[in-house]
Amino acid sequence: MRCPACGSTFLYKDGFRDLNDGRRVQRWLCRRCGYRFSDGNNLHKENQTNEDYRLSAILQEAKKLDPTTETKTVAGESPKDSIKGKIIEFLWWMQKQGYKESTITSRAARLQRLINLKANLLDPENVKGVIAKQKNWKESRKEGVAYAYNLFAKCYRIKWTRPIYKAIRKLPFIPTEREIDDLTAACSKHIALFLQLGKETGARAGELFTLTWTDINQETATINITPEKGSNPRNLKYSKKLSNMLNQIPKTENRIFAHYKNLSSLRRTFERQRIRAANKFGNPRLLRITFHTLRHWKATTEYHKTKDILHVMRLLGHRNIKNTLLYTQLIDTQEDDYVCKIAETTKEIAQLIEDGFEYVCDQENLKFFRKRK
């Protein structure tokens, strides 16, 4: 048995995993890179929750609909006689409208939650009442569920007025660069590479997960970012540190992160390693760092450094500057603390520039550089 991440044979048994079909799978923990895995045949099933199974099954049934009649028998009933059948038709309708699979899955999960709460999806007033009774739900969650049902009602031409729920806008959590570096150093090489990419490019997790080796130009040290959510494509520079990390990943597949079946499995692996990192460094703030946190950190840092909102807008790929203006509110949270370095030789100067230091001045034949902490 070898670790699929690093190839190490230094493995420990790490308990069992009960699958939905009743089987138990031996799990393993790699002591070199910290990757947890099981037998290859069961790896994908192991990395799915019960909710994932249910939604995956519904999505698969939606894809099997007859495109000419758009009907399918579900448990002996037609979709018109079954709530499950209506959801399947709804998901197929969303696919035809061009919605992304992640959006379809999230909408299905919210509708499934309403069904679990005994809501009648064909009665909009009943749905409103069920949502209103959830005292432990935040406004943002109620808003999301209302939007999901709003789309369901649009599909079936159900008349209803969407209730007014507004998520409370909060400033995002911005960690220090040291905290990001500590977390990156504590993770396995695949997860560390993902974090470093997010830190240097500010790209969304979905954009990073779909990166291919052809998107990397090692001669110019640039990365082509294929956008999602209607953003603009970007071509961004990357550091020598990131170049070294890329060279440690075997190029056996076209995609850089093809080792993971989907973004959800990569995220769950990261969350396990994040817990170990927070315990290792004794810093609970690390638990608040997510993939999207790196996007916020990059945007805030760049605006603090350049004071150029258009530069930040191009970096993030935003089409509307209103989305970028959020980061101007975080400028006062950034401290003007610097690390100072002195260089004498050409080699030392080049190394400092590659490490992200900026030139300040000359004094007594010495060159002074600085970089924000």
Joined together, the tokens standing for residue 245 give 């990390």
Label residue 123 left, alpha or beta by phi (over 0 means left) and psi (-120 to 50 means alpha): beta
pLDDT value of residue 198: 94
Structure tokens at 273: 């390693």
pLDDT per residue as tens digits for the range 149-182? 999 999 998 898 888 888 877 778 889 999 999 9
More confident residue, 49 or 231: 231
Q: What is the mean pLDDT of the chain?
A: 81
pLDDT of residue 200: 94
Cα angle: 231, vertex 56, 229; to 5 degrees: 5
Does residue 327 surpass a pLDDT of 80? no
186 and 281 in contact (C-beta within 8 Å)? yes
Q: Greatest CA separation found in the chain?
A: 87
Do residues 153 and 160 touch, judged by C-beta distance below 8 A? yes
Predicted confidence at residue 277, as pLDDT, reads: 93
End-to-end CA distance of the chain, in Å?
43
User: Which run of H or E residues covers position 166?
Assistant: none
The alpha carbons of the chain give a radius of gyration, in whole angstroms, of 24
CA nearest 238: which of 256, 220, 255? 220
pLDDT, tens digit, 9 for 90 and up, residues 103-137 = 888 888 889 889 889 888 989 999 999 999 998 88
Residue type, 276: R
**What share of the chain in percent tops pLDDT 70?**
84
**For the chain, percent of residues with pLDDT exceeding 90:** 32
The model's confidence at residue 331, banded by pLDDT at 50, 70 and 90, is low
Scanning the chain, the segments in alpha helix (DSSP H) are 43-46, 50-63, 83-97, 101-116, 124-133, 139-155, 177-186, 189-201, 205-209, 240-247, 263-281, 291-306, 309-316, 321-324, 346-354
- Read off the pLDDT of residues 256-310 as tens digits, 9 standing for 90 and up: 998 888 888 899 899 999 999 999 999 999 999 999 999 999 998 888 888 888 8
Q: How, if at all, do strands 216-217 and 234-237 pair?
A: unpaired
pLDDT of 36 reads 80
Q: Would you say 221 and 312 are in contact if contact means Cβ atoms under 8 Å apart?
A: no
Separation CA 302–CA 315 (nearest Å):
9
Report pLDDT for 67. 45
SS3 state at 238? coil
Task: List C-alpha distances in Å: 224 to 52, 60, 154, 203, 228.
Answer: 31, 32, 37, 11, 13
Does the pLDDT at position 247 exceed 70? yes
pLDDT at 364: 73
**Averaged pLDDT for residues 227-253:** 90
Q: pLDDT confidence of 44, banded at 50, 70, 90?
A: very low
How confident is the model at residue 60, as a pLDDT?
A: 56
pLDDT of residue 309: 87
Q: What is the mean pLDDT of residues 313-327?
A: 85
Pick the range with the lowest mean pLDDT from 12-21, 29-38, 192-201, 325-334: 325-334
How does pLDDT run across 52-111, given as a tens digit for each residue?
Answer: 444 555 555 555 544 444 444 444 444 445 777 888 888 888 888 888 877 888 888 889
Average pLDDT (210-214) is 94
pLDDT at position 335, please? 52
How many CA within 13 A on the CB side of residue 129? Answer: 8
**Model pLDDT, residue 189:** 92
Give the domains, in start order, of the chain with CATH numbers. Answer: 11-47 (no CATH), 58-155 (no CATH), 177-333 (1.10.443.10), 338-372 (no CATH)
The mean pLDDT value for 227-240 works out to 89
Q: What is the mean pLDDT of residues 330-355?
A: 73
Q: How many helical (H) and strand (E) elements, i.e. helices and strands, does the chain have?
A: 15, 9
Q: Which one has a higher pLDDT value, 224 or 101?
A: 224
Q: What pLDDT was estimated at residue 201?
A: 94
Quote the pLDDT of residue 78: 43
